[in-house]
Amino acid sequence: MIDQPGESVTPELLLRVMGLTKFFGGLCAVADLDLEIRPGELVALIGPNGAGKTTAFNLISGFLPPTRGRIYYSDRDITRLKAHSVARLGLVRSFQSNVLFAGKTVKENLLIGFYNQYRTGFWQDILGTRAHQAELEAMDRQADELLQFFDLTQYHDVKAGSLTHGHQRILGVAMALASRPRLLLLDEPVSGLNDEETTTMMRHIRETRDRGITIILVEHDMKAVMGNCERIVVMHYGRKIAEGTPQEIVNHPLVIEAYLGNGDLDV
């Protein structure tokens, strides 16, 4: 029974989604979605427009409450937790559009990204205590490390709104990483990027996974997905219709049928 609170993830799972369903009025956007994610995986969630992928992300990350189903993360039931509480546990998501502070510099954006991990309180901030100062210095060092990791050091004092679209997308992923996630949900990270920018972004994503961060990404660029993800989950009209390796997905009859006519599965 999916609604029994006694069930949880097993030790080898980081995320377990069971029977996840979401209705908007009479429209079922996600129907009985089951999903299991193991630590260290790079998994893609794909499907035609309107398949329910982003809604699934919103449910898992706490931005929407499910109609029914359970979500377990790191052996904890997070089904009814709000987004900020989910993020503090280490499950962080990015968005399709660039959610940046355009008038602030690249480094200032990264420092804002560390907000979820801010430990010292209001009075320490006001009084400038040693603990507060040490935390600020640690965040500054970590921001510099992220700038270097994402090849953004030369843009550290450039206003985020002045960056190219590709660099803004990379900065968005870096800001998500600043929250120190264990599980990172990336919503269309290569949307609007050219081939060179896509290659760079996917390299950063693979390197992020190699640093021990588990990643699920929603993406329409099938070449990026097939060339980088070990496992792919396919949704269509709110339901999961297939799951497997890239080769298994390319040859899956239901996937081929779902993508007929739009050319998206041409890899």
DSSP-derived secondary structure letter, 218:
E
* Cβ–Cβ under 8 Å, residues 243 and 232: yes
Q: What is the CA radius of gyration of the chain?
A: 19
Q: What is the pLDDT of residues 189-200, one digit of tens each?
A: 999 899 999 999
Q: What is the pLDDT of residues 24-38, one digit of tens each?
A: 999 999 999 999 999
In angstroms, the CA 245 to CA 243 distance is 7
Q: What is the pLDDT of residues 56-113, one digit of tens each?
A: 999 999 999 999 999 999 989 999 999 999 998 999 998 766 668 899 999 999 988 8
Name 225's Cβ contacts closer than 8 Å, sequence gap at least 6: 44, 46, 217, 219, 232, 246
In angstroms, the CA 138 to CA 16 distance is 33
Q: pLDDT band at 258, cuts 50/70/90?
A: confident
* Cβ–Cβ under 8 Å, residues 254 and 242: yes
Amino acid 109 reads N
- pLDDT value at position 260? 63
- pLDDT value at position 5? 39
Its pTM stands at 0.85
- Please, what is the average pLDDT of the chain? 88
In angstroms, the CA 267 to CA 246 distance is 10
Name 89's Cβ contacts closer than 8 Å, sequence gap at least 6: 73, 74, 76, 78, 81
Name 26's Cβ contacts closer than 8 Å, sequence gap at least 6: none
- pLDDT value at position 182? 96
